[in-house]
Amino acid sequence: MEPADIELVTLAKAAQDERAFAVLVRRHQARLRGFLIRLCGDAALADDIAQEAFMKAHAGLSGFNGGGSFRSWLYAIAYREFLQDARKAKAAARLEEALRKETAGHQGQTPEAGGLASSMSLDLQQALAGLGEMERASILLCDAAGFSHTEAASALGAPLGSIKTYVGRARDKMRAALTEETQTVPASPKPEATPSQPTNGKQYVL
Amino acid sequence: MSSDPVETALKADLEALTDRLERDRFAERMLFKLGAQRRARLGVVAFAGGLGAAFAASQFTGVVSALARTLGAATPEIAMTGLSPQFLAAFMIAGALLATTLVLRQDF
């Protein structure tokens, strides 16, 4: 049986056991990076933020008192990093560019440029990009990552009631956007792939 | 299991993305970087400790003779304790080593 997060944290804190922290990194890295990629729309930026979050979690492990779950504590660090990064002018420009790419569609996009950030269904991407920052973070944590509302509130540093509101509102907005998309898609002509304009060949249906 | 299409789609998307991310070497790179910090710190402390130990060893006889002079001039009560200058000098160096060990263990 695999040890629980709290047992690994205790080991890493008490015995300064690097292997215990390594297990925590391996256990949470992919999901955390996935969340960050969907949150900021840039895989490289998401990896930088995740790396910084793990570094800070390692350095500040003694500050984790076990009041909440380890993952909500880790995601809280990552979310703060994301906000800090987004505040910086350079990162904000990258973010804007990434989000603009998300909403602009995939026409003319090379497979290299596709990458992890845009592996998502185009409809879903557009619907997600239309959400506010907190709405996006809340719905990604609660609906995609399987966080409880309490955990999400702890990770995002917002009141529980607000998280419920954000999730509900985000679902409504996304549902409306996806319904609208479904109604408009059959009417729009299919773009023809030409040799000079490679497409990623993916068709997503929600 | 939720029947909400938005939730289902988001969950499926994150699952697929997570599967891809599990297979790259992010965790290994991350852990190497964490280990590198620790290794660099150990290197610096070991170098400083080695330098300090070499310096202390070179000063050992000087410290012993200084302590011998101090003990000779001390009150009879202290002289009667039977502490040799060599013992006191070794005790001082052991104290410095203990302090270095505590720093290494990040107790301070």
C-beta of residue A168 within 8 angstroms of C-beta of residue A203: no
Mean pLDDT is highest, among A11-15, A64-68, A129-133, B65-69, for: A129-133
Confidence bin at A101 (pLDDT 50/70/90): confident
**Strand, coil or helix: B14:** helix
Whether the CA torsion A145, A150, A153, A154 is positive or negative: it is: negative
Query: What band does B105 get if pLDDT is binned at 50, 70 and 90?
Result: low
Phi, psi at B105, each rounded to 5°: -80, 0
Tell whether domain A5-184 is in CATH 1.20.140.160.
Answer: yes
Chain A hits for B38, Cβ within 8 Å:
18
Asked if the model's pLDDT at residue B24 lies above 50, the reply is yes
Tell me the average pLDDT of chain A.
79
Measured distance CA(B108)–CA(B93) in Å, rounded? 19
Query: A167-201: per-residue pLDDT in tens?
Result: 999 999 999 988 876 666 554 444 443 333 333 43
pLDDT for the residue A185: 53
Residue with tokens 């995601």: A75
Contact residues, chain A to chain B, C-beta under 8 Å: 16, 18, 21-22, 25-26, 29-31, 33-35, 37-38, 47, 50-51, 54-55, 58, 116, 119-121, 124, 127, 139-140, 143-146, 171, 174-175, 178, 206
Position A31 pLDDT exceeds 70 = yes
Reference A129, options A153, A150, A98; nearest CA is: A98
Confidence check: pLDDT of A56 > 50 = yes
ipTM above 0.85, yes or no: no
Q: B18 pLDDT exceeds 70?
A: yes
Q: Could you tell me which residue, B92 or A77, shows the higher pLDDT?
A: A77
Question: Where do the domains of chain A lie?
Answer: 5-184
For residue B62, count other CB atoms closer than 10 A to its CB: 10
Q: Residue A132 is encoded by which pair of tokens? A: 């506010």
To which H or E segment does residue B25 belong?
A: none
Which of B81 and A49 is assigned the larger pLDDT?
A: A49
Express each pLDDT in B33-76 by its tens digit. Answer: 888 877 887 788 778 778 877 887 787 788 778 877 777 776 66
On whether the CB atoms of residues A31 and B40 are closer than 8 A, the answer is no
Dihedrals φ, ψ of A154, to 5°? -70, -40
CB contact under 8 A, B6 and A175: yes
Strand partners, A197: A194
